[in-house]
Amino acid sequence: MKLSKNLTYAEAIRSETAKRRRIENTAHGVILDNLKLTADKIFQPVRDHFNKPIYVSSMYRCENLNRMVNGSKFSKHITGQAIDIDNDGTDVSNRDIFYYIKDNLKFDVLIWEYNDDSPSWVHCSYVEGLNRGLVYRNTNLGLIEFKEPKVEKPKKVKYEQRKKKVQRDETRSVPTREVGGVSESSGDNT
């Protein structure tokens, strides 16, 4: 079953932890509707914009699986309203995905997950009618408000124009002489 043009249900419920622990991680009813909405409003616009495969590292987690991976008990993954994207190792970086979502899509919470240059993965939740547009950075100390990196602007330097008379010979590396009204280098044999 497809949740959107380029995202399947199997990708949305896939979990290595669930496989290893034999946890049934299936979604139905309202949760399935939420998965479709998240796929339609977050995943598919990202996929369409970059026109490249986008890799979901986590989307739906049943409560049992969420506990196993130490997820928050209020995680939107449990309700099918969150997606984690990890495109490391491809020509579309997690950083590119983060900024595309931040600057172009409606979302509830967007999180830059660890690292400085590019997030380890991008977490995004979508809650129809309740999207707050909150942007955070996850650090080893916890969540902090995301702030744009400061780009140092070049300092303005005022230059004084000097009106100093300079002798002609001091302005050239090789003295010149005038021959027939044309300036010619003194060391030039041409």
| Phi–psi pair at 100, nearest 5 degrees | -65, -45
Question: Rounded to whole angstroms, how far apart are CA atoms 38 and 46?
Answer: 12
131: its two tokens: 């999207």
pTM for the predicted model, two decimal places:
0.74
Domain boundaries, the chain: 2-145
Contacts of 131 by beta carbon, 8 Å cutoff, 6+ apart: 106, 107, 108
The CATH fold of domain 2-145: Muramoyl-pentapeptide Carboxypeptidase; domain 2 (3.30.1380)
Q: Is the distance from CB of 106 to CB of 94 less than 8 angstroms? A: no
Q: pLDDT (tens digit, 0 to 9) for every residue of the chain, 190 residues total?
A: 999 999 999 999 999 999 999 999 999 999 999 999 999 999 999 999 999 999 999 999 999 999 999 999 999 999 999 999 999 889 999 999 999 999 999 999 999 998 888 899 999 999 999 999 999 988 776 655 766 655 455 555 554 444 444 444 444 444 445 555 554 544 545 4
CA-CA-CA-CA torsion sign (70, 36, 137, 146)? negative
Angle at 179 between CA 177 and CA 181, to 5 degrees: 105
